[in-house]
Amino acid sequence: MLGTKIKKEDMFSDEYKQAARWCNENGAELKEEGDFFMVVKTPEPADPTAAEQVAALEAQTGLTRVVRELVLAENSGASAYVKARAEEIETLAAPLREESNE
């Protein structure tokens, strides 16, 4: 079914419905190509960038840069778990800051 082309004017045909069903069951999609749709494999999602990983971890933990600095400060009183999470995020974030300073 991959590579099948369906003209746009046939969008409501049984062939289109069958192709759409097949796509849903097989990790494919109908991609618009000019005056027709073509069945193509759905691309794998890209790995998140370091910046996206940092943003996601900050959102999950609430450990923004300022909070991380406080947590990682000497005698902060933060638990070992919180310090470990802050260090994990900081390991990803520090090179990004260095890149932006260049």
DSSP 64-90: -HHHHHHHHSTT----HHHHHHHHHHH
In the predicted structure, residue 90 carries a pLDDT above the cut 90: yes
**For residues 7-21, average pLDDT:** 93
CA distance linking residue 6 with residue 94, whole number of Å = 50
In the predicted structure, residue 20 carries a pLDDT above the cut 70: yes
CB of 91 within 8 A of CB of 69? no
Q: Is 38 exposed, middle or buried (0-12, 13-18, 19+ CB in 10 A)?
A: middle
pTM over 0.85: no
pLDDT digits (tens, 9 = 90+) for 79-88: 999 999 999 9
pLDDT at 102: 60
Compute CA distances 49 → 59, 66, 70, whole Å.
15, 21, 26
In the predicted structure, residue 100 carries a pLDDT above the cut 80: no
CB of 27 within 8 A of CB of 41? yes
pLDDT at 79: 95
pLDDT at 71: 96
| pLDDT grade for 11, boundaries at 50, 70 and 90 | confident
Maximum Cα–Cα distance for the chain, whole Å? 70
